[in-house]
Amino acid sequence: MKLDRYRIDPDDRGAFTRIDPEDSGPFKDKAAAVARLQSGVERLALLQERLYASDRYALLLIFQGMDAAGKDSAIKHVLSSVNPQSTEVHSFKVPSHEELAHSFLWRAAKALPARGRLGIFNRSYYEDVVVVRVHPELLGARRLADDLLTRKVWKHRYEDIASFEKHLVRNGTVIRKFYLHVSKEEQTRRLLARLEERDKLWKFSLADMEERKYWKDYRRAWTDAIAATSRDDAPWYIVPADHKWFSRVVIAEVILEALDSLDLSLPKPDAKTRKELASARALLKKNL
Ligand code: ADP
């Protein structure tokens, strides 16, 4: 599958118009995509084990998208077979008092995956350059001094994010960022389904209705944020999300491609360790 068409080059501002939310790539229907996802998910479990055992890299996956774009279900399906013991999912909500008293990257820094582990951010510090940009009154909650609150605040935050991610990459964290690109029409259908289907009602929030009014502002803020922070070593993918079965395959394949590019060979025991292992084996055999 051609994944590059969803990968955003630095400073690319045309991706949202170029990428069709309804795109389903080479798949004509759900069945073929589901079969492909299944084999991808199984391979992902094997590669994650290698990631853990080789203990050299961490993998950070960031999921963003408008409400009902399918972030939660993509995480559930794509990562259904990974080992929960070496995986952490963090959902970033409206910041707490304590979080607001620190820099906007603080809470994310605390939640980063350690070497060998897989970290999933369901929303992230990108909210601080998107929802806060769409609703600038939210900036006030950080009580920044006037001379720090200039018109350049967004540009500075993009730079901070890019440097933060660069720092992580240089220290062995592999980063992939996914924006689930759903059309407004499909979002309407999904929100309506939440209201009409009893087992989906719990997902409905009036706040999501309110945010729909700012669709264009969100699109503008995301265009800027993605163009400013997509880098060759920490790329954004704008994933068509009107067909959930397609977005899941794209996400799985991007993760597989990232893991395949790493040297996940297992650490080789040195001479002393080999000797110790040989005596352990001999001891165990004696006990048989
Ligand atoms: P979700 O929609 O992710 O399932 P919620 O319905 O609780 O979960 O939504 C989380 C909300 O928190 C979103 O509206 C999001 O914009 C908001 N949020 C996340 N991070 C921030 C932030 N840094 N500043 C303000 N709001 C934020």
- CATH number, domain at 250? 3.40.50.300
Ligand 1, pocket-test mutation among 62, 75, 107, 131, most atoms within 8 A of CB: 131
How far is residue 274's CA from residue 92's CA, in Å, rounded to a whole number? Answer: 45
Taking the centre of ligand 1 as the mean of its atom positions, its distance from the CA of residue 149, in whole angstroms, is: 22
Instruction: Indicate which residue's Cα is closest to atom 18 of ligand 1.
Output: 94
Taking the centre of ligand 1 as the mean of its atom positions, its distance from the CA of residue 77, in whole angstroms, is: 22
Rounded mean pLDDT of 92-113?
A: 98
CB 69 within 8 A of CB 182: yes
Query: What is the dihedral angle through the alpha carbons of 253, 13, 156, 152, rounded to the nearest 10 degrees?
Result: -160
Single-letter residue type at 139 = L
Instruction: Indicate which residue's Cα is closest to atom 11 of ligand 1.
Output: 93
CB 35 within 8 A of CB 243: no
Answer yes or no: is pLDDT of 220 > 90: yes
Kindly state if the Cβ of 93 falls inside 6 Å of ligand 1. yes
Kindly state if the Cβ of 138 falls inside 6 Å of ligand 1. yes
Kindly state if the Cβ of 128 falls inside 6 Å of ligand 1. yes
Instruction: Indicate which residue's Cα is closest to atom 5 of ligand 1.
Output: 93
CB 119 within 8 A of CB 90: yes
Which residues sit opposite 58 in a β-bridge?
Answer: 173
**Closest atom of ligand 1 relative to the 135 alpha carbon:** 25
Number of domains comprising the chain? 1
Q: Write out the residue range of the structural domain in which residue 61 sits.
A: 3-286
Give the pLDDT of residue 102.
Answer: 97
Give the pLDDT of residue 267.
Answer: 84
* pLDDT, tens only, 110-121: 999 999 999 999
How sure is the predictor about 24, in pLDDT bands with cuts at 50, 70 and 90?
Answer: very high
Ligand 1, pocket-test mutation among 72, 127, 142, 210, most atoms within 8 A of CB: 127
List the one residue out of 183, 201, 153 whose CA is nearest residue 244.
183
Query: What is the dihedral angle through the alpha carbons of 24, 28, 30, 36, rounded to the nearest 10 degrees?
Result: -80
Taking the centre of ligand 1 as the mean of its atom positions, its distance from the CA of residue 278, in whole angstroms, is: 54
* pLDDT, tens only, 34-63: 999 999 999 999 999 999 999 999 999 999
Report the percentage of the chain scoring pLDDT > 70: 100
**Closest atom of ligand 1 relative to the 211 alpha carbon:** 14
* pLDDT, tens only, 152-181: 999 999 999 999 999 999 999 999 999 999
Kindly state if the Cβ of 127 falls inside 6 Å of ligand 1. yes
Taking the centre of ligand 1 as the mean of its atom positions, its distance from the CA of residue 167, in whole angstroms, is: 26
